[in-house]
Amino acid sequence: MEAGIMRRLLVAANWKMNGDMSSNAALLAAFKAGFNGSADTAIFPPAVYIPQLADSLKGSAIAYGVQNIHFEEKGAFTGETNLAMAQDFGCQYILVGHSERRELFGETNAIVAKKVVAVLAAGLIPMLCIGETLEQREAGVTEQICKEQIDAVLTQVGIKAFEKIVIAYEPVWAIGTGKTASPEQAQDVHSFIRQLLAAEDAAVAAKTRILYGGSVKASSAQALFGQPDIDGGLVGGASLMAEEFVAICNAAQG
Ligand code: PEP
């Protein structure tokens, strides 16, 4: 890391399509009680539960946001949520380009880039997910895939915008599979991503938070977060278990 630049760690929870009013309330209560504030944190619940989080997290340092957004302002887009709606309920972060959105809902790099543009224009923080599939890793094209995914956004928003973007590197083969990338495997890709940004602007690269995601657990968090280019985590399955998620957040010293 560049001398004098400290990136505060960020740990985010992706609840995906899980939870209900009572299980959410229990999770939030346990999280508020156990979280020691040593990192920034954000929760991405299903969109219909955003008002519940807005209410429960009022006055706390815990941020929240939606798992997906439409880039248009309004109109005939059945089933979609726009940025003004997310802002109405105090969302600060917006998850963009999660691999499940890319794989199951056909989100291309171009669509993901449009969403990042819209989130930035609204003054919110995009958490941009990138990462390779197992097939791509085995074919030796991990770096190429990550570069393509970053470039699609970079060409639309420019390098300065990356001061406001959080990147989540999530190898698709590690998401929901129980297979965490080793700290060294993750660090290698994080370092590559930071170098990509540094080639455009070293000062911006030194500030950009790059999170790791993919089966993070309390037992693996500390070693991952201890890597020089890993600035926290995006956590799926383990974020639905209060004790586990509290331990992951509290493992982030910084
Ligand atoms: C995710 O959904 O972003 C994720 C990383 O999930 P999991 O932690 O379950 O692998």
pLDDT score, position 22: 98
Strand partners of residue 129:
168
Helices (H), the chain: 21-34, 50-56, 83-88, 99-104, 109-121, 134-138, 142-157, 183-200, 202-207, 218-225, 242-251
- Residue-wise pLDDT for 191-233, tens only, equals 999 999 999 999 999 999 999 999 999 999 999 999 999 999 9
Per the prediction, the chain carries an average pLDDT of 96
Ligand 1 contact, 213 CB (< 6 A): yes
| Residue % of the chain over a pLDDT of 70 | 97
Contact 142, 249 (CB under 8 A): no
Ligand 1 contact, 176 CB (< 6 A): yes
* Count of CB atoms situated within 10 Å of the CB of 65: 26
* Ligand 1 atom closest to Cα of residue 239: 8
Strand partners of residue 125:
93
pTM (whole model) above 0.75: yes
pLDDT score, position 231: 98
* CA 127 to ligand 1 center in whole angstroms: 14
Contact 218, 244 (CB under 8 A): yes
Structure tokens at 74: 């309004």
Q: Is the per-residue pLDDT at 2 higher than 70? A: no
Q: Is the per-residue pLDDT at 5 higher than 70? A: no
Nearest CA among 193, 179, 206 for reference residue 130: 193
Q: Which residues are catalytic?
A: 98, 170
Overall average pLDDT of the 29-53 stretch: 96
CB-count burial class (<10 Å; 0-12, 13-18, 19+) for 191? middle
Cα dist. 250→38, 186, 208, 227, 228 in Å? 6, 20, 21, 16, 18
* Ligand 1 atom closest to Cα of residue 216: 8
Ligand 1 contact, 244 CB (< 6 A): no
* Ligand 1 atom closest to Cα of residue 215: 10
Cα dist. 9→153, 228, 249 in Å? 23, 11, 9
- Residue-wise pLDDT for 111-121, tens only, equals 999 999 999 99
pLDDT score, position 6: 81
Spatial distance between the Cα atoms of 239 and 44, rounded to a whole number of angstroms: 10
Q: E strands along the chain, which residues?
A: 10-14, 40-44, 63-66, 93-96, 125-130, 166-169, 210-213, 232-235
Ligand 1: which of 220, 234, 239, 245 to mutate, most ligand atoms within 8 Å of CB?
A: 234
- Residue-wise pLDDT for 53-109, tens only, equals 999 999 999 999 999 999 999 999 999 999 999 999 999 999 999 999 999 999 999
* CA 237 to ligand 1 center in whole angstroms: 6
Structure tokens at 114: 């449009």
Ligand 1 contact, 41 CB (< 6 A): no
Q: Is the per-residue pLDDT at 4 higher than 60? A: no
* Count of CB atoms situated within 10 Å of the CB of 237: 19
* Count of CB atoms situated within 10 Å of the CB of 213: 28
pLDDT score, position 180: 87
- Residue-wise pLDDT for 125-180, tens only, equals 999 999 999 999 999 999 999 999 999 999 999 999 999 999 999 999 999 898 88
Q: Is the per-residue pLDDT at 1 higher than 60? A: no
pLDDT score, position 252: 79
